[in-house]
Structure 1
Amino acid sequence: MAGSVHPFHHRYLLFLLLIIGAASTVSIAAALSLDLHHRFSDRVRQWEEDHGLPGAWWPEKGTAEYAAALAHHDRVLHRRSLADGSVLTFADGNATYRIDNLGFLYFAVVELGTPNMTILVALDTGSCLFWVPCSLSPGIYSPGQSSTSQKVPCNSSFCNLQSNCSGANSNCPYFVRYADDSSSLGILVEDVLYLRREDATSKTVEAQITFGCSEYVEGMNTALPYGVFGLGMGNTSVPSILSSKGIILDSFSMCFGVDGIGRINFGDKGSLDQEETPFNIDNRGFYNISITGIEMGNTSIDLDFSVIVDSGTSFTYLSDPVYTKFTESFNAQVQENRRKPDNSLPFEFCYNSSSRYSFRRPNISLMAKGGSKFPVSHPMLMFIEKQQNVYICCLAVFKSHGFNIIGQNFMTGLRVVFDREKLSLGWKKFDCYSTGNSSTTPLQNLSPAPSPAPSPGVAFEPSTSAEAPKPTSNHSQQIYPPYFVPTSNGKS
């Protein structure tokens, strides 16, 4: 946050003081000399490793990752000289809303164009492009009705589909497909996104950004038209654009409230007491971290695997052997009887419960690289069986094939910081209402559609496919809509 000193800087100040302290033992008549070492040098790396700090996670000298890290470091210094450290959020306020009938995703209200148009968008850290529906519905957003709108030409650095262009000055097309096979296509435009400072001034900031103007959407519920606000690490994401212009520090935070109300703040680097782990370098723009084990109640599971942290995926996906070890350990420590497989429920591990609050589960923590614990406070989803009035508690984890994703259900109850400057993920148990004042625009006029929409999920290149669970046709006929269950922690 503005005015605070980051722990990273504390460590290097300490490093400098240690050098000065060692030099002070030399004769006063001798000239004081200091050896200066680059942040990524072998000497500094060794010193960090000897003191249990994250030097071992830095890229090896001479590798492509090493060169990329140096270039990233230089860009960060330049951006810092431009940004004043202010935290920004949307002009309508920093509140976000989990809408269960739209795939259990978090949404925010954004304002675009001149005059400004209000649009509902799903917040997705698993993809980079921000796009909104244009010709799909009247009164949403139209480039022709905004005096500040400009179409992006094919020779722009933001245009990733130049091979599909008829000429350098023709309109740049975009196409994005998500893990559940939903997709959006259209053209790129540039216009004003309205933000405001999260301080006493609440000053409005007009940021010129590039985003997608969607002309066709497939696989998403369009009864309530909404866009997807990509927050990934690619150059087309809004955090990347804002930080490259020096408007914010290259970091943002999202708070995921237990009650479905959250927060988002751009330029927020979190607090000194938060847990952290480094990102794995991922050229696809994902927030990828390493997990070294799982604490499940009275059991510790030694596993090494990487996961994508994705707010745009409703639930959590684990591939084998992680999925099997996770679910078997969970099942062994639950006292309630497991239900037989049921086509009306999309989850594999479900249990009958006598009431909303009687189900007890083991404590769950993911052990992140570096030793930090990522607490999983709300892994369960509850259904109510209509005919027998039975409460059904399900472990909201799906088995995947070849990829692991921490969905937003595992982030519930946390403030998660995506520090792209430091290349680290931070988190802390948090009350989202304590993050400051917020304008909580009511959503009465944004009535959700009656049927759930597919999760935007992680965005993949068009040549890549991924399996996602599909709800069964008789699901809504047998059980009431699900909601997150306030289960009790504790060893069984």
Structure 2
Amino acid sequence: MLGATCCGSHVIAYNALLCLPVTIIPWCSNILGASIVQDKDLSEYSPSLSSSSKNLSCSHLLCESSSYCKGPNDPCPYIIEYDSDNTSTSGYLVEDKLHLKSFSGHSEESSVQAPVVIGCGRKQSGGYLDGAAPDGLMGLGPGNISVPSLLAQAGLIQNSFSICLDENGSGRIYFGDKGLATQQSTPFLPIGGKYEKYFVRVEHLCVGSSCLVKSGFSALVDSGTSFTYLPPEIYDKVVLEFDKQVNARRISNQEDFWKYCYNVSSQEPFKIPSMRLKFAMNQSFDIHNHIYSYTGNEGFTIFCLTVLRGKDDFGIIGQNFMTGHDIVFDRENLKLGWSHSSCQDVNDKSSVHLAPPPSGESPIPLPTNEQQSTNNTRAVTPAVAGRASTNPSAASSLQIPNLLCLMASLLILRCLL
């Protein structure tokens, strides 16, 4: 288990409905909208106050925006524009160190200073100005510049990590975790011959005891998307089957974010159908958090199916479907693993260990210009305060959308320069 501090201040990564402080014990809390900043003592990162920070130059192999540079020694800029809400961020790339702690069930905790690349934001627009990601985004994508990629390249961890979100709205991230031997798994899919996003193939989506015919689809697994989107034809089948199995009165409310909501009294018996995903080789993924409920007027309870209709021929498996599972992104073996978990028992994570450098040696540095460079994606999406957009992307399946938040390619912080 890892903790991170940066220049004496906690590095905090936020998501739309998920506030994920990456601290000594990374906990998440489910807080809506801009209220996420009201009870947080946030500190902006200042490279000038860090003795270990240095600008990434335009000549560095990790600098993808060198065309904007005037000279090879200039600081490398980054410019990211998002698909929704006219949101963007721009600034400069900075190299600094995260102070991490490792956890192993068979040895004492150790610490190491891990070099990472930080997108030091100087100008934000759109959702950033509405309270989204007030202290930054942590990149967990497959690209070479993401946090787990840099940790693995430095030889500090195995090229894998896991995310566990429990049913009470909290959870943890474990870098270097490959999961349990008993976990189920399915392979990642290449897009255009490359593994640049975490895509999997769902063979069937089941509602109750009914596994719908012709309900297979490709899906992007993204912890940065709060809810799950389905391709239009799959969504239509699922909601109709769900509505058929629910013995409750459906209500129509224009203010509801979700379209399939029901109103029941405490005296009425009602049934909520279960849901699960089926993958190849009979691998099954039970969904524990596909319902959102709240108390309405006069003691009635309203519950809604938290599945949204996408506009593309692929789906997005978001945070709500991941809840109650230890989700393992095994990048080394190119597969997604999962097992049911309460996200509380860290003793099962004995394989998670950060290897500190030998005594007296400095940590392994970031890649240098002499090393080979591979194509890297910069697509990230900021957390948008309030309700998530109902339009995940206008891109086709061959043009992957900029939907990634926690699956971003870069650790982006707001900076004081």
> 2:240 aligns to what?
328
Structure 2 counterpart of 1:156, from 60, 63, 68: 60
Q: Encode CA deviations 1:415-471: one digit per residue, 9 max, x unaligned.
A: 000000000000001121112499xxxxxxxxxxxx73758x98999xx79699xxx
Which of the pair is proportionally richer in helix? 1
How big is the shift at 1:337? 1.2
Q: Encode CA deviations 1:27-51: one digit per residue, 9 max, x unaligned.
A: xxxxxxxxxxxxxxxxxxxxxxxxx
Q: Encode CA deviations 1:368-423: one digit per residue, 9 max, x unaligned.
A: 133211111110112333x4443211111111111410000001100000000000
| Partner-residue secondary structure (3-state), 2:328 | strand
**Cα separation, partners in 2 of 1:284 and 1:212, compared to 1, 3 Å:** farther
Cα contact 1:338–1:349 (8 A) shared by 2: yes
How big is the shift at 1:121? 9.8
How big is the shift at 1:298? 2.5
> 2:69 aligns to what?
165
How big is the shift at 1:251? 0.4
How big is the shift at 1:205? 1.1
**Cα separation, partners in 2 of 1:401 and 1:460, compared to 1, 3 Å:** closer
**Cα separation, partners in 2 of 1:121 and 1:336, compared to 1, 3 Å:** closer
Counterparts in 2 of 1:24-103, with a 5 A limit?
A: 88-91=1-4, 103=16
> 2:317 aligns to what?
406
Cα contact 1:312–1:408 (8 A) shared by 2: yes
| Partner-residue secondary structure (3-state), 1:326 | helix
Cα contact 1:310–1:458 (8 A) shared by 2: no
> 2:92 aligns to what?
187
> 2:147 aligns to what?
238
d(CA) in 2 for partners of 1:212, 1:235 = 14
Cα contact 2:27–2:171 (8 A) shared by 1: no
Structure 2 gaps, min length 5: 6-10, 31-40, 350-384, 404-417
**Alignment-mate amino acid for residue 242 of structure 1:** L
**Cα separation, partners in 2 of 1:241 and 1:363, compared to 1, 3 Å:** same
Identity of aligned residues (%): 35
> 2:370 aligns to what?
none
**Cα separation, partners in 2 of 1:223 and 1:306, compared to 1, 3 Å:** closer
Name the count of aligned residue pairs. 340
**Cα separation, partners in 2 of 1:120 and 1:257, compared to 1, 3 Å:** closer
Cα contact 1:312–1:458 (8 A) shared by 2: no
**Cα separation, partners in 2 of 1:345 and 1:434, compared to 1, 3 Å:** same
Cα contact 2:42–2:135 (8 A) shared by 1: no
d(CA) in 1 for partners of 2:219, 2:28 = 25
**Alignment-mate amino acid for residue 159 of structure 1:** C
Cα contact 1:187–1:214 (8 A) shared by 2: yes
**Cα separation, partners in 2 of 1:412 and 1:138, compared to 1, 3 Å:** closer
d(CA) in 2 for partners of 1:223, 1:237 = 20
Cα contact 1:91–1:204 (8 A) shared by 2: no
How big is the shift at 1:343? 1.8
> 2:376 aligns to what?
none
d(CA) in 1 for partners of 2:27, 2:275 = 33
Counterparts in 2 of 1:259-338, with a 5 A limit?
A: 259-282=168-191, 283=194, 285-302=196-213, 303-338=215-250
d(CA) in 2 for partners of 1:356, 1:435 = 40
**Alignment-mate amino acid for residue 73 of structure 2:** N
> 2:363 aligns to what?
none
Larger Rg: 1
Q: Encode CA deviations 1:133-182: one digit per residue, 9 max, x unaligned.
A: xxxx9941011111110111112121122222222221111123445443
d(CA) in 1 for partners of 2:117, 2:220 = 25
Cα contact 2:13–2:21 (8 A) shared by 1: no
**Alignment-mate amino acid for residue 310 of structure 2:** S
Structure 2 counterpart of 1:217, from 124, 135, 138: 124
**Cα separation, partners in 2 of 1:138 and 1:171, compared to 1, 3 Å:** farther
Cα contact 2:229–2:308 (8 A) shared by 1: yes
Cα contact 2:265–2:299 (8 A) shared by 1: no
d(CA) in 1 for partners of 2:247, 2:257 = 22
Q: After alignment, is 422-431 or 221-230 more displaced?
A: 221-230
Cα contact 1:349–1:394 (8 A) shared by 2: yes
| Higher RCO, Cα 8 Å, sep 6+ | 2
| Partner-residue secondary structure (3-state), 2:282 | coil
d(CA) in 2 for partners of 1:397, 1:356 = 27
d(CA) in 2 for partners of 1:191, 1:344 = 45
How big is the shift at 1:358? 5.8
d(CA) in 2 for partners of 1:203, 1:356 = 55
How big is the shift at 1:194? 1.2
Counterparts in 2 of 1:435-446, with a 5 A limit?
A: 435-436=346-347
Q: What's the TM-score, normalizing by structure 2? A: 0.73
> 1:116 aligns to what?
none
Cα contact 1:291–1:306 (8 A) shared by 2: yes
> 1:254 aligns to what?
163
**Alignment-mate amino acid for residue 245 of structure 1:** A
